[in-house]
Each structure stands twice: as C-alpha cells, then as structure tokens.
C-alpha cells in the first residue's frame, strides 16, 4: 500500500474507507472473504502484514457496483479473439469479468449493448455458482460429467459430502431428476461472460 502526500487523487465507483468525494463512491464494509490486517505492529508495509483474501462474499455492496467503461481495454488480447479494443474480459483469477449476480441490485453503470452486466468493484469479480459445475471451474463439461456419474446413487439415498453439489434438485439424493438438470446445464456448456 502506498501513500502519496501533496497529490489530489480522484476516485469514482470505488469503496473508500472514510469516504471520498466522487460519483458512485461508497464507504462500506466490502465483505472480503478475509480482510487485510497490518499485523501485530499495526503498521502497513512491514513484513508482518496479512494481505487477506480480497474476493467478495455474497451480499457485498461492491458487487455490480462499478462502471464498465472504467475497465481497461484488452490490450494484450487475453481471450485470443483478436479484439484488443474490447474491455478486459477476465478478473485477476482469470475468471469472467462481467458477471451479473441476480441477488444483488445493480448500483453501478453498465455499458450496453456490449456490456449489459455491471462489473464489480475490485480485482475479483464475484462468480455466481453455475448449476452442474461440480468441479468449480465455472463451466459444465466432461470433467463434471465424470463427477456426476460417480455421484448418481438412485432414489432415496443421501449423497455423500463430496456429492452434495450433484444434488441439483436439492432433494437429498442424486438420481434421474438431477441428471435431467445436469444434462440441460451440460448442453449449454460454457457460461458466456456477458
């Protein structure tokens, strides 16, 4: 963390502790998975700092709260589609950058028609779970099919702890009803980032 004195900084669509003037700024707990901590000495920039986990938890006021045109261009063509004028498609984890959380009201600014989903504040986009994504890689593919097949137990058998994610019907068993849900997700394939 760096501090610069004698320079006027401007912020917009940011979560700034202590408040900062500017359009779209908030002063709220971002609900990080683990908040940073300056460590026992109480001083930032020393060896005992704990940088935490800056991924957002569900309910964070930073979800769907930024401004899409503030996302830098994809100068290095990270997605390999030949378009370097589009907005950077990935977050710091290389997950889709423009993901809408249906449980969070949009308080930021979209950029339609290309970017109707409002980007999150911060380096990490909150990733909405994808039904049928049993291995947690944000797509439904043959790897998930292998995991699902190993969890298919038939009626009235509670899934093991590892198979709870395969219970797509949420009825405490993994059976043909769950397979129908999985099959629908499988044929959709990769969730599009927009």
Could you give the residue ranges of the DSSP H alpha helices within the chain? 142-151, 176-188
Burial of 12 (0-12, 13-18, 19+ CB in 10 A): middle
The pLDDT tens digits for 18-70 are 878 889 999 999 999 999 998 999 998 899 999 999 999 999 999 999 999 99
> Do residues 8 and 15 make contact, with C-beta atoms less than 8 angstroms apart?
no
2 Cβ neighbours under 8 A, 6+ residues apart: none
Q: Which residue has the higher pLDDT, 54 or 187?
A: 54
Query: Please, which residues bridge with residue 73 across strands?
Result: 87
Confidence of residue 78 (pLDDT cuts 50, 70, 90): very high
Confidence of residue 190 (pLDDT cuts 50, 70, 90): very low
Please tell me the number of Cα atoms within 13 Å of 108 on its side-chain side: 31
The pLDDT tens digits for 127-160 are 988 788 888 777 788 898 888 988 887 656 666 7
Whole-structure pTM value: 0.72
Q: Distance (Å, rounded) from C-alpha 184 to C-alpha 80? A: 28
Percent of the chain whose predicted confidence (pLDDT) is above 70? 89
Cα 96 versus chain centre, distance: 8
Q: Mean pLDDT over residues 168-178, rounded?
A: 86
């Amino acid at each position: 963390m760096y501090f610069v004195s004698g320079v006027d900084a401007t912020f917009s669509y940011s979560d700034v502790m202590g408040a900062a003037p500017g359009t779209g700024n908030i002063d709220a707990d971002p609900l990080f998975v683990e908040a940073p901590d300056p460590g026992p000495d109480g001083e930032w920039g020393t060896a005992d700092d704990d940088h935490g986990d800056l991924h957002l938890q569900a309910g964070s006021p930073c979800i769907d709260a930024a401004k899409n045109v503030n996302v830098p261009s994809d100068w290095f063509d990270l997605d390999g589609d030949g378009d370097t004028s589009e907005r950077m498609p990935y977050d710091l984890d290389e997950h889709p950058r423009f993901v809408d959380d249906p449980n969070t009201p949009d308080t930021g600014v979209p950029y339609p028609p290309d970017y109707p989903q409002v980007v999150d504040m911060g380096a990490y986009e909150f990733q909405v779970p994808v039904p049928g994504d049993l291995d947690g890689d944000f797509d439904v593919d043959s790897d998930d099919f292998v995991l699902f097949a190993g969890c298919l137990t038939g009626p009235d058998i509670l899934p093991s702890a590892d198979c709870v994610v395969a219970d797509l019907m949420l009825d405490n068993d993994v059976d043909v009803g769950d397979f129908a849900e999985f099959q629908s997700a499988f044929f959709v394939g990769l969730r599009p980032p927009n």
